[in-house]
Structure 1
Amino acid sequence: MPLNKEPLIKLTQVTQQFTSNESEVTILNQLDLSMYDGEFVSVVGPSGCGKSTLLNLIAGFLMPTSGSIKMRHQLITSPDKTRGVVFQSPTLYPWLSVEQNIAYGPKRQKLPINEINEKVKLLVEQVGLIGSEKKYPFELSGGMKQRVSIARAMVNEPELLLMDEPFSALDAITRRNMQGLLRSLWKENHQSIFMITHDIEEALKLSTRVLVFPKNKPGELKEYPFNFTEKIAQDSTYEPDTDEVFQQNKLLLLNDIM
């Protein structure tokens, strides 16, 4: 990354500790991290390594024990609309339809109704929900619910989309389709995305950078600047599962985590 390019997100010496059985447990240890506009960054690691804690800090749901987290030079002290969040389990309002769920945020901001309708219409098309606008959450499959969650997170036009294992509860076919959707949104909208996942293949296939919590260095991050997603997006005949380089890098990640 060019030295003169300003980071979208910058973590400086971030430490996060929690109290467990009257003792301090360090989850993140003096972490430094920069993320730039247009990047798709994935974080992988074993359960309990600090992946979700890191996302919650960037989202503003948690405050670090020490260190600083900034977005465009401004300290992050609480959640705001510049950062949209998609969770593992869709958090939709069951009494609202698909289009009403997507429109909820803009309506709270009292945006003009015509502007809201245009935003909702565009996102319904982008995430593949045309024909389901009037349906309620109980009528939707797991994949469709996550499509609504992504649209609802993006309707406020966040500078950064945060995703906490968004596809882990989906079946293999639906997960693959959702990965394709996410890659398209990143590619076409130039959306900056920060994703937590336990799926190494998912991280490799989607990300421009992969960050790993190594098993032998608790609370620290190791970076792999992979970019298979560009190749997948540009070449419809490319199959990463038969690419020797892809498989070698997958093994590198596995060795760091397992």
Structure 2
Amino acid sequence: MIDRDAVFVLGAQDPEMREIERVATAAGHAVFHAASNGLRCTPQTAYEADGVARAGADGIVRAAVLRPTAPTVWVECRIAGREPLVRVDHHHPGDPGFTAPPADYLRGSSLGQVLALLAREPTPTQRLLAASDHCLTAAYQGECPGVDPDELLFLRASWKAFIAKRSLTEVMTGILDAARHVKQRFDHASGEARFLDPTRVPMDLAEGAAYAGVPVRYRAWLPDGQVKEMFKGGTPEAVEAFMAAHEAAGRQVYGNPHRGYGGAYWPG
């Protein structure tokens, strides 16, 4: 439990972070967003923030000031020159939820950690959000207590349809089609399905692979010209091997073997 004057500073936006913002605000806490050069942070810049901002209901991001003495809760972010009262995260070694297994997804997920700080019991929807963010493939395979895979699919497909302005039918079809593709391409020797041509990656590949429970390796072009290679749904040993191979090649690497994912950036 934390004091009412604690201020939450949130990292990059996603469905889990939206719910964290709603919960913290409803509990009476001030909420800011980590910012870099006055812009709300992305997943790539959230741990290199130099200040905070407020994102209004109108979508406009406005500059803000965080009092030097304010007790802060950092959620999936870091701010240069500051130290938090509490760190909520599960992305890096040493984070509170880094090693949490799927069965303990509430302790592992950032949403679950925030709910514990606020002494709140999770709702069914919050369980879905927490499990999907912490260990999506495991959640789809029924490894997270209190999480129904079919309800999870509907929730995530609805969100994807809303964000991408696609119909729910189109998204559901895309996910199921991608699941069929990864099963067909699964290679027993490597233990994964590979889609290494960024121009031929199915739209809903990552979601379909998680739903199918098949480890997948794929590449995507980023706006700045870099190629990002991702590996999802693998065992801890497979993720560690993936990350080690890219590190040995001198590439920037991220990931969490305990959560079954890794990624690497190829310079443009």
TM-score scaled to structure 2, two decimals? 0.30
Q: Which has the higher contact order (CA 8 A, sep 6+)?
A: 1
TM-score scaled to structure 1, two decimals? 0.31
